[in-house]
């Protein structure tokens, strides 16, 4: 998940003190918090005029550093081990469950989506963000140890003129919103002008793909006859049956190819040459589907009768 953020701070060459932080997530959520422990009297005249004068403290966003840290972690998708396991099981779990598995239910679990931090001239922003958690070794698992810089990306693309920000500059939330706007501008700039859409006649002539479903069974292996060019894309349980979804040509050419798949449980060995297709959960069990690439299929009168490992 991409996260666009900006901070305002007081720095004297030795220390950096957070004033405020604004965060905009890729999915549109926003967070704006002001540090009520910051000594604004330490600010120079420029910061007082251009930053502090634009602060909008309210009871819900004028909070301590500890509260800023907690709310930022929640915003970024961090959750406790208790929350993660209860969500997986679909019900509350007693402490006995965590003790039996040697799990600290209060320990933080990282976000499900990998975080990608973006800022503008973000060197100091990254430091003041990380210092919410103490030294670098105390950063929560999953928190990036660097911020991707929009200005560096802009220079790498030839330094095109970025969109004007207008009002709100040096307000952390307004700046974070602009960071997202600038990132979107550079994304489109890098992609170049949009290509013209094909005519209906051209579109009809292009090859098309479909996705079909194949049921899988447990055992030493299962051979599926798949069209050439087929690609397994997803594994999941539907009803009580493990299913494999495969992307393949709508009008295959060249016949089919026998491909062998095996369903293995967590901790169960499988050939090192096998290719992992996907993993899914079925009740208390977690299944992993691999494709065996070193097998030979035996046919008699055009019918598959056996297979063995090459």
Could you count the other beta carbons within 10 Å of the beta carbon of residue 32? 19
Residue with tokens 């589907």: 289
Residue 151's Cα: distance from chain center in Å? 23
Q: What SS3 state is found at 180?
A: helix
Answer whether 55's CB lies under 8 Å from 20's CB: yes
The pLDDT, as a whole number, for residue 304 is 52
The pLDDT, as a whole number, for residue 246 is 95
The pLDDT, as a whole number, for residue 300 is 61
- Read off the pLDDT of residues 174-192 as tens digits, 9 standing for 90 and up: 999 999 999 999 999 998 8
Q: Using the 8-state DSSP alphabet, how is residue 227 labeled?
A: E
Write the DSSP assignment of 100-167 as a string of letters: HTT--TTSEE--SSPPEEEESS-HHHHHHHHGGGSSGGGSPTT--SS-EEHHHHHHHTT-PPPPP--T
Per CATH, the architecture of 2-77+113-191 is what? 2-Layer Sandwich (3.30)
Assessment of whether the complete model's pTM goes beyond 0.75: no
The pLDDT, as a whole number, for residue 255 is 79
Give me the residues of the chain with pLDDT under 50, please.
none
Residues of the chain with CATH 3.30.420.10: 2-77+113-191
For residues 147 and 20, give the distance between their C-alpha atoms in angstroms, rounded to a whole number. Answer: 18
The pLDDT, as a whole number, for residue 219 is 75
Bridge partners (DSSP) listed for residue 241: 238
Residue with tokens 């970024």: 76
The pLDDT, as a whole number, for residue 194 is 74
- Read off the pLDDT of residues 19-60 as tens digits, 9 standing for 90 and up: 999 999 999 999 999 999 999 889 999 999 989 988 888 888
The pLDDT, as a whole number, for residue 309 is 62
The pLDDT, as a whole number, for residue 298 is 65
Torsion of CA 38, 109, 74, 63, to 10 degrees: -20
The pLDDT, as a whole number, for residue 123 is 94
Bridge partners (DSSP) listed for residue 226: 257
């Amino acid at each position: 998940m991409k996260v666009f953020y900006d901070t305002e701070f007081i720095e004297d060459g030795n220390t950096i003190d957070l004033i405020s932080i604004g965060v905009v997530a890729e999915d549109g959520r926003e967070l704006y918090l002001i540090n009520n422990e910051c000594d604004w009297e330490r600010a120079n005249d420029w910061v007082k005029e251009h930053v502090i004068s634009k602060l909008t403290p309210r009871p819900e966003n004028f909070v301590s550093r500890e509260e800023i840290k907690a709310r930022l972690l929640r915003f970024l998708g961090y959750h406790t081990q208790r929350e993660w396991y209860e969500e997986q099981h679909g019900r509350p779990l007693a402490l006995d469950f965590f003790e039996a598995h040697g799990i600290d239910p209060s320990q933080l679990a990282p976000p499900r989506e990998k975080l990608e931090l973006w800022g503008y001239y973000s060197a100091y922003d990254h430091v003041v963000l990380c210092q919410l958690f103490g030294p670098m070794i105390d950063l929560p698992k999953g928190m990036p140890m660097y911020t991707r810089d929009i200005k560096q990306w802009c220079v790498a693309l030839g330094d095109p003129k970025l969109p004007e920000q207008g009002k709100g500059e040096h307000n952390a939330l307004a700046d974070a919103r602009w960071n997202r706007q600038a990132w979107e501008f550079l994304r489109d700039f890098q992609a170049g002008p949009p290509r013209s859409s094909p005519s209906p006649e051209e579109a009809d002539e292009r090859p098309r793909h479909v996705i079909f479903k194949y049921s899988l069974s447990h055992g030493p292996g299962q051979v599926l006859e798949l069209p050439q060019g087929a690609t397994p894309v997803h594994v999941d349980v539907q009803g009580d049956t493990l299913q494999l979804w495969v992307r393949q040509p709508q009008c295959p050419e060249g016949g089919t190819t026998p491909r062998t798949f095996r369903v293995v449980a967590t901790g169960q060995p499988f050939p090192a040459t096998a290719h992992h297709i996907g993993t899914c959960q079925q009740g208390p069990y977690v299944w992993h589907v691999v494709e065996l690439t070193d097998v030979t299929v035996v046919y008699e009168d055009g019918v598959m009768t056996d297979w063995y490992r090459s």
